[in-house]
Amino acid sequence: MDKPLTVGILGAGTMGTGIATVTARAGHRTILRDLTEAAVQAGVGRVRQFLDKSVELGKMPAEQRDAAAAGLTGTTGLDDLAECDIVVEAVFEDVALKAELFGRLDDICAPTTLFHTNTSTLSVTAIAAGSSRPERVVGTHYCNPAPLMRLVEVARARQTSDEAYHATTEFLAGLGKVTVTTRDTPGFIVNRFLIPFENDCIRALEAGLGTVESIDQAVTRGLGHPMGPFTLLDIVGLEIHRAVSLSLYEQLRDARFAPPPLVEQMVAAGHLGRKTGRGFYTYDEPRMFGT
Ligand SMILES: NC(=O)c1ccc[n+]([C@@H]2O[C@H](COP(=O)([O-])OP(=O)(O)OC[C@H]3O[C@@H](n4cnc5c(N)ncnc54)[C@H](O)[C@@H]3O)[C@@H](O)[C@H]2O)c1
């Protein structure tokens, strides 16, 4: 890394804490922001837990963990992001909320600060329109779990400048990420393939083609995927899968994106995956990041 930056993360949920883990681990000063003290503390705790586990598994030297933990702080105040070189938003999938937050940050951050959005399905161009510096807004779609998955899709808004785009890909390379550049289009590349595939697997389960275990095995052993669709869905969260599916279905009007009835039932029952201890599989205790 050339020089440690100050990185603000908006949202201490699944993705915000995952991305905060990645930036803190890379040596950047990281400020995690959520709306309540409880959410902030829980998020900071999950990052620390992941770092500790990495040391325990021999994947990270203790000194790196200590430096990452020392560089990580949490806050509920947007003003605390004033010194950030980059702000990554990972709040709810709501275009008005994301656009409004960047608009508020215009008055708080330096004019040079880059704004990254981790949206999965929304228009980066529409989010950028909320800022008075839309040329500095870039879509950076991390894969879940962010600390473990190397790919980040980079989506340029129509307004994104070449300079902001290049600074973004350089920053992501410094985090150890592999980037692919995609058009600002619903679902980018990964979710345009992944969501219909996962919905097909769920429909196959509903139709009795196989069990959760046998379909996962067929996909890992037969297709060479690193994990089966149901293992992955449990990590992502069924309510997230439902929201992403619906958003893409509404925008693309293609039935392959419509969430199958089983997804609706599981969400209604609170069987959201690892985070609730039960999804397609059951877990002894709720877990994050697939650790
Ligand atoms: N979960 C995934 O697999 C995944 C993968 C890639 C991208 N994404 C995208 O990342 C974003 C976040 O998803 P998630 O799964 O982490 O959601 P999440 O619900 O786990 O977390 C969202 C967090 O944002 C917080 N928040 C809401 N408004 C805020 C504000 N004004 N300021 C600060 N924090 C605020 C919420 O309190 C919550 O803690 C979404 O845009 C989603 O589409 C999700």
Among 41, 92, 195, the mutation site with the greatest number of ligand 1 atoms within 8 A of its Cβ is 92
What is the Cα–Cα distance from 188 to 157, expressed in whole angstroms? 12
Rounded to an integer, what is the distance from CA 232 to the centroid of its chain? 14
Among 9, 15, 87, the mutation site with the greatest number of ligand 1 atoms within 8 A of its Cβ is 15
Residue nearest to atom 32 of ligand 1 (CA): 34
Ligand 1 centroid distance, CA of 179 (Å): 21
Among the residue ranges 32-41, 247-256, 282-291, the one predicted with the least confidence is 282-291
Check residue 51 and give its pLDDT: 98
Check residue 2 and give its pLDDT: 65
Check residue 289 and give its pLDDT: 53
pLDDT tens for each residue of 120-164? 999 999 999 999 999 999 999 999 889 999 999 999 999 999 999
Check residue 185 and give its pLDDT: 96
What is the Cα–Cα distance from 96 to 156, expressed in whole angstroms? 19
Q: What is the mean pLDDT of residues 161-176?
A: 98
Query: What's the pLDDT band for 290 if we cut at 50, 70, 90?
Result: very low
Query: What's the pLDDT band for 1 if we cut at 50, 70, 90?
Result: low
User: Does the pLDDT of residue 288 top 70, yes or no?
Assistant: no
User: Does the pLDDT of residue 77 top 90, yes or no?
Assistant: yes
Check residue 178 and give its pLDDT: 98
Ordered strands of the 178-182 beta sheet: 72-75, 29-33, 6-10, 86-89, 114-117, 137-142, 151-156, 178-182
What is the Cα–Cα distance from 280 to 23, expressed in whole angstroms? 31
Q: Which is it for strands 137-142 and 151-156: parallel, antiparallel or unpaired? A: antiparallel
User: Does the pLDDT of residue 286 top 80, yes or no?
Assistant: no
Residue nearest to atom 28 of ligand 1 (CA): 91
Q: Is 119 in the pocket of ligand 1 (CB under 6 A)?
A: yes
Check residue 3 and give its pLDDT: 82
Q: Which atom of ligand 1 is nearest to the CA of 240?
A: 1
Tokens of 250: 């509404």
pLDDT tens for each residue of 9-33? 999 999 999 999 999 999 999 999 9
> Regarding predicted confidence, which is higher, 103 or 145?
103
Q: Which atom of ligand 1 is nearest to the CA of 117?
A: 41
> Could you tell me the domains of the chain?
6-182 (3.40.50.720), 191-276 (1.10.1040.10)
pLDDT tens for each residue of 217-276? 999 999 999 999 999 999 999 999 999 999 999 999 999 999 999 999 999 999 999 999
Classify residue 24 by burial, with Cβ atoms within 10 Å: 0-12, 13-18, 19+: buried
DSSP label at 278? B
Q: Is 208 in the pocket of ligand 1 (CB under 6 A)?
A: no
Ligand 1 centroid distance, CA of 197 (Å): 23
Residues forming beta bridges with residue 88, ordered by sequence position: 9, 116
> What positions carry a catalytic annotation?
120, 141, 153, 191
What is the number of alpha carbons within 13 Å of residue 162 lying toward its C-beta? 0
Q: Which atom of ligand 1 is nearest to the CA of 121?
A: 43
Ligand 1 centroid distance, CA of 226 (Å): 25
The helix/strand/coil state of 30 is: strand
Residue nearest to atom 33 of ligand 1 (CA): 34
Ligand 1 centroid distance, CA of 93 (Å): 7
Residue nearest to atom 39 of ligand 1 (CA): 13
Ligand 1 centroid distance, CA of 29 (Å): 21
pLDDT tens for each residue of 193-222? 999 999 999 999 999 999 999 999 999 999
Q: What is the pTM of this model?
A: 0.93
